[in-house]
Amino acid sequence: MKQQATITPDIGAGIERTTFEDATYRKVAMRFIPFLMLCYVVAYLDRVNIGIAKLNMLADLQFSEAAYGLGAGLFFVGYMLFEVPSNLIMHRVGARLWIARIMISWGLLSGIMAFVSAPWQFYVVRFLLGVAEAGFYPGVILFLTYWFPNRRRAKMTAIFQAGIPVAGLIGGPLSGWILDTFHQVGGHAGWQWVFVLEALPTIPLAIGVLLILTDRVKDAKWLTQAQRELIAHDIAQDDQGRPHMPMSQIVRDVRIGKIILMTFPAMMALYTLGFYLPTLIKDAGAVGGLQVGLLSAIPYCVAAVAMVAVGRSSDRRRERRWHLAGIMLLGSAGLVASVFASQNLTLAIISLSVAAAGIISFSPIMWTLPTAFLGGATAAASIGAINSLANLGGFVSPYLIGWIRDTYHSTAPAIFIIAGSLVISALIALSFDPKTVNR
């Protein structure tokens, strides 16, 4: 311990410094990443549990598929409007207080979803849920830039974002079980209990945020002085040469525009899975909420493994473009295959698993791009801008699918459109300058 305390970024070198550096970032990761992943599991579950609730909710409330798609998508309109302001506030006041506030707000609104009875109420609550949750995901992405240099961030982001497949892995069976088991308990439908019971964990987790997160490296008393100096040095080195631009210049930056255009189709595909995976599995022959929920977990299980493996590979090779293009093409192929396998439950699950592996592995690598050439408040604003505008794909895809299902009584045309957009996303990924993004 005495020897470690004397190692600084200036004098540590070779194997000794590498060992010390690995131990330091492992300690930071163990403190933050599992907890943040758990928070994201609950966040994503509260966002997409409507996909399981939909199995009975639409019939009970006499909602059309288009009404469901519009309500599911309105979440992202509220999300978009408040994303950048939320991230800038967090950069100023700190992650602990702001993320805790976000979690309490979204938990309350997610529970209120149980009591909607008319389309306009559904629309309003979904919009407000997006407003409440705005800032959590990009806030965590920004928080990771304070603690991990870019060369280590894809892996950390991938583990955090494993909350998406873990939410599907846990949430599908859990929601299906609640849907079947709690039906008419206390005179309420099973889908109402889905919203109420899955909103409850947000309050204790918000308290955990206040106890576990640390806003600044210099305030981390759980690290040694040498460890704090190492992290501060690495982050400062990362920020060297990265311009700090006003918001007006950020939105005109061609690189940021390309990231948004590349990410928009990925978000369309991601929320196609989030909002319609249970429906696609039911259409393929699954029966009952519990069976649909259990089978919905399989694609997310495959995606969890793929996400971490792809993030680790991208970090190890310091390569982003081909990784991004490859997983988008994989996701596109899986979606197309799922259409042709739609009458065979086994083949449909395999195809959707391939799609999920590609689509869900996208974001951890994508988020290394803006932070590779921007830092500080500029990174905070750019992350908020990218996330808010790209996430409008989450509005487009459910509304598109709902309208097409009502009009043509088939999901296939919408799936083909979304799969085609992923091919365009792959081509955009390859257009980036490797010297800029492969850091």
Look up residue 295 and give its two tokens. 């089978």
Chain-centroid distance, C-alpha 189: 29
| Mean pLDDT, rounded, for 199-217 | 90
Q: Is residue 188 part of a domain?
A: yes
Q: What's the pLDDT band for 439 if we cut at 50, 70, 90? A: low
Average pLDDT value for residue range 166-190? 85
Tell me what pLDDT residue 11 has.
Answer: 42
Q: Is the pLDDT of residue 13 over 60?
A: no
Instruction: Using the predicted structure, report yes or no on whether residue 141 has a pLDDT greater than 70.
Output: yes
Look up tokens 């696609």; give the residue. Answer: 280
Q: What is the mean pLDDT of residues 179-196?
A: 89
Q: 257 and 137, same structural domain?
A: no
Give domain status of residue 410, yes or no.
yes
Express as a percent the part of the chain with pLDDT over 70.
90
Q: What is the mean pLDDT of residues 378-383?
A: 70
Who has greater pLDDT, 66 or 378? 66
Whether residue 4 is contained in a domain is answered as no
Q: What is the dihedral of CA 70, 75, 81, 85, to 10 degrees?
A: 180
Q: Which sign, positive or negative, has the C-alpha torsion 408, 298, 112, 88?
A: negative
- Would residue 18 count as lying in a domain? no
Same domain, 226 and 195: yes
Q: What is the mean pLDDT of the chain?
A: 84
How many domains, in total, are found in the chain? 2
DSSP letter string, 367-434:
TTTHHHH--HHHHHHHHHHHHHHHTTHHHHHHHHHHHHHHHHS-SHHHHHHHHHHHHHHHHHHHTS-H
Q: Are residues 188 and 46 in the same domain?
A: yes
Does 17 fall in a domain?
A: no
Same domain, 233 and 328: no
In a domain, 22, yes or no: no
Closest C-alpha among 116, 114, 118 to residue 193: 114
Report the range of poorest mean pLDDT among 78-87, 362-371, 374-383. 374-383
Residues 231 and 123 in one domain: yes
For residue 381, pLDDT beyond 80: no
| Rounded-to-integer distance, Cα 328 and Cα 425, Å | 7
Same-domain status, 166 and 260: no
At 264, the pLDDT band (50, 70, 90 cuts) reads very high
Q: Is the pTM of this model over 0.75?
A: no
Of 191, 215, 240, which one is at a domain's C-terminal end?
Answer: 240
CATH of the domain at 343: 1.20.1250.20
392 lies in which domain range?
Answer: 243-438
pLDDT of 45 above 90: no
Q: Residues 407-424: pLDDT tens digits?
A: 888 889 999 999 999 999
Whether the pLDDT of residue 10 is over 60: the answer is: no
Residues 311 and 175 in one domain: no
